[in-house]
Structure 1
Amino acid sequence: MRTLDAIALILVIIGALNWGLIGFFNFDLVAMIFGTMSSFTRVIYALVGIAGLYAFSFFGRDRDRDVNRDRHDVK
């Protein structure tokens, strides 16, 4: 699962950087590289969205890891 986590994180970072460029400079890097709403651009946007949804699972896993670590420290 670590590979999937890394891919999701990279896609979320790409999405965040693209949204930052749009917000600050009105510049859509993904659309510039792959064309405005071409099929490939839509696939990139969809993958970034799915990665963002998957990234929600990071919160639960981090909390579970901390709880397990605390249990081992008590002994």
Structure 2
Amino acid sequence: MSCDRDLTLDEALADPVIGAALRADRVDPRQFETLLRCTARRLDSRRGPASRPTAALAARGPGRPAAGGCPAW
């Protein structure tokens, strides 16, 4: 990974240091992922259709809420 760019969500979620911090703080990694992806969708929806993520990035997986179904933590 280059030092001149931000991590993608997938890179951040796979990062061992972030994983260690989540474990130390007793944060469920699946809930953290859901929160990050939901927040990304909300921010993306404010930018307009030209900046929509690809279908692969937006795809739902296990433990993720339905479109627009962001949890209220």
TM value normalised by structure 2: 0.36
Bigger Rg, which one: 1
Higher RCO structure, 1 or 2 (CA under 8 Å, sep 6+): 1
Which structure has more helix as a fraction of its residues?
Answer: 1
TM value normalised by structure 1: 0.36
